[in-house]
Amino acid sequence: MISLLDIAERTQKGRKMPEDDWNMSLFRKIGELVKKYKIPNYTKDTPFLNLDDDLLERVFNAGVDLIVEHGVYCITTGRVVELSREEVLQAVRESPSEILVGTGKDARWMKQRKVEGKEKLNFCPGHHSPFTQDLAPIVVKNFAQIPRTDFIEGFNFTEVDGYEIFGAPIEAYASRKQISWMREGVRKAGRPGLAIVLYPITTRAEVLTAAIDPVDGLRSGDGILTSVLPDEKIEHDLLATAIACEDHGLWRISGSFSMMGGFCGGADGAIVEGIAKPLTAMICYRVYVNYTGVENVRTVSALSIPLQPLNWARSVVNQTLNRFTNIICMAWIIPTSGPGTETHLLETSLRTIEATINGANLYAPRHSRAQMNAGQTPVEGELMVEVSDATLAAGLDRKYGGEVLTSLAKKLEGRTPEPGFTIQECYDLVNHKPSPEFEKIYKDVKGQLTELGLSFP
């Protein structure tokens, strides 16, 4: 597989291009590929989840073509990294479909799944969300305590040791502290070898790599979030971090979903970028675990609950990646309602069923517009596991699962996202359980899911 040093060199020597030109050129190229490979758009007659297996190979080829014919853009140098078809396909062939994360008794195999597979999914319950420093000791433990946790991601915060986190020096310090607290938290949960993924305090290379330390920081078996940017873009701080990680045996994870409505265009174009991005992450940052799929550029504003065509588009992307690559897909559930609410749990459940059927593992559910201490609780993660297992037990395939999802989606249509609560308001961190009110909501949602055909032990 092409080396990261080669990528680094190409970012330095590839042809120059203004970023605005790249953006519009990408839009045109994706449009051409959508036409060439006859990638359809979603209509009211399209099934909830993709059932067209012939589409998947066309989508894969479109994704490969995008990289081969258009390249990857380095925003640091304003240059295009060009890759040959053989290089891309070699990377597809040679990348592993499973990697070992964590150490000792807590080591886990992260695996690529099959579409409509029968195996239980890998799972990360949190964080990728902001929590205040005072909660750090107990929050991490709560999430790490969830038995099915395979790895856990760090969290963001705004103050450390009484200092505002502002400026590279304190950011680097905070980065080390994040992992130090994570390390302590997983130990307290009795999972000392649980894999920890650094969530960037900021994306400066020095801040990301400052946390590497086998004693109290990131060690072999841990990971760092190094995401390919929207519109097929990479960047030097993240590439430098990827290179630094290689020596230490740290794996990386990339946020590789595409954004419908952006420069990739509509759902059809977002599908193409949804294939290209994880391939780019693999080639340019050596990332084998990606959170994949399609989101909407408006999701972060959390003003409406996004449903179709995203569900269908995500299913096309995840099915394609699982069929034609070794990429280990993860579904990042980002509900637009806040934690402690019915809509939040319904959105979580819908996306979980969808992920399970499409073969995407389960990743850190979090309010799309997370505020301090109000991004997530352990309940959502635990519900994800329950719902996923129930989906497997029910033997839901794409067709029947699609019908269940259609019914579930109807419960969300027209509803406004609820703002939600802070973790302290809806969850008992000492005793690891939801507040009575939240528990009621949780049970009620499970009841609704039971009515739709899922049974829970």
Partner 1 sequence: MTNGENQGALENLKDAILQYDTEAAKAAAQKVVDQKIDPKIAINEGVLSASTILHERFERGECFIPHLVMAGDAMEAAGYILEASIPKEQITSKKVVVIGTVEADLHSVGKNIVAMFFRSGGFEVHDLGVNVKASSFISKATDTNADIIALSSLLTTTRPYMREVIEELESVGLRDKFKVIVGGGPITREWAQEIGADGYGTDAYEGIEVAKQILGISGN
Partner 2 sequence: MLSLLEIAERAQKGPKMDENAWNMGLFRAMNELTQKYGILYPDDQPVFNCDDSMADNAFEAAIEFLVDTGIYCLSTGRIIQLTRTEIMDLIKGMPKQYAVGEGKDVRILKQRRLEEKDELNHCPGHHAPFSEELAPLVIKSFAEIPTCDYLEGINFSEVDGREIFGLPMEVYAGKREASWMRQGVAKAGRPGLAVAYYPINTRAAVMIAPIAREFGLRPSDGILLSVLPDVKVEQDYITTAIVWEEYGGFKLNGNGSGYVGGFCGDLGGAIIEGIVAIITGWIVYRDIASWGAVWPSTGFMSGQKVPVNFSEDWGTSVWAQALHRHTNYILFISPPAISGPGCETQLLEVARRAVGIPINGANVHICRQGRAHMNASQSPLEQEWAFEVASAVMHNGLNRQTAGELVRKIGDELRTRTPEAPYDDIREFYDMVHHKPLPEYEKAYLRTKEVISALGLTFI
Residue 239 makes contact with partner 2 by CB under 8 A: yes
- Beta-sheet strands, E only, within 174-257: 195-198, 223-225, 233-234, 251-255
Residue 301 makes contact with partner 2 by CB under 8 A: no
Stretch that binds partner 2, among 4-12, 57-65, 402-410, 443-451 (CB under 8 A): 4-12
From residue 357, alpha-carbon distances to 136, 158, 178, 238, 455 in Å are 34, 38, 34, 32, 16
Helix (H) or strand (E) holding 68: helix 53-70
Amino acid making up residue 348: T
Contact with partner 1 (CB under 8 A) among 121, 275, 370, 384: 370
Per CB under 8 A, which of residues 183..222 are in contact with partner 2? 204-207, 209-210, 212-215
Compute how many residues bind partner 1; rule: CB under 8 A: 48
Six-digit token pair at 388?
């996923």
Contact with partner 1 (CB under 8 A) among 142, 296, 348, 391: 296
Contact with partner 2 (CB under 8 A) among 45, 54, 164, 413: 164
Six-digit token pair at 357?
């059927």
Q: Which of partner 1, partner 2, none lies near 230, with the C-beta cut-off 5 to 8 A by kind?
A: partner 1
CA distance 322 to 254: 16
Give 193 or 269: the residue with its C-beta nearer to partner 1: 269
Measure CA of the first residue to CA of the last residue in the chain; give whole Å.
46
Q: Which of partner 1, partner 2, none lies near 202, with the C-beta cut-off 5 to 8 A by kind?
A: partner 1
Residue 83 makes contact with partner 2 by CB under 8 A: no
Q: Which of partner 2, partner 1, none lies near 24, with the C-beta cut-off 5 to 8 A by kind?
A: partner 1
Contact with partner 1 (CB under 8 A) among 40, 47, 192, 261: 261
Amino acid making up residue 368: S
From residue 110, alpha-carbon distances to 107, 248, 258, 330 in Å are 10, 19, 22, 10
Helix (H) or strand (E) holding 444: helix 436-451
Contact with partner 1 (CB under 8 A) among 43, 54, 162, 164: 164
- Beta-sheet strands, E only, within 171-324: 195-198, 223-225, 233-234, 251-255, 258-260, 289-291, 294-296
Q: Looking at the DSSP assignment, which residues form a beta bridge with residue 160?
A: 163
Residue 204 makes contact with partner 1 by CB under 8 A: yes
Per CB under 8 A, which of residues 216..235 are in contact with partner 1? 229-231, 235
Nearest approach, Cβ of 129 to partner 2 (angstroms)?
A: 24
Residue with tokens 């390249």: 71
Amino acid making up residue 89: L
Q: Which of partner 1, partner 2, none lies near 260, with the C-beta cut-off 5 to 8 A by kind?
A: partner 1
3-state secondary structure of 205: helix
Helix (H) or strand (E) holding 173: helix 168-188
Give 230 or 274: the residue with its C-beta nearer to partner 1: 230
Residues in contact with partner 2 by the rule CB under 8 A: 4-5, 7-9, 11-12, 76-77, 160-161, 163-164, 166-173, 176, 204-207, 209-210, 212-215, 236-237, 239-244, 247-248
Residues in contact with partner 1 by the rule CB under 8 A: 19-20, 23-24, 27, 75, 130, 156-158, 164-166, 168, 171, 174, 200-204, 207, 229-231, 235, 237-238, 259-266, 269, 296-298, 300-301, 303, 368-372
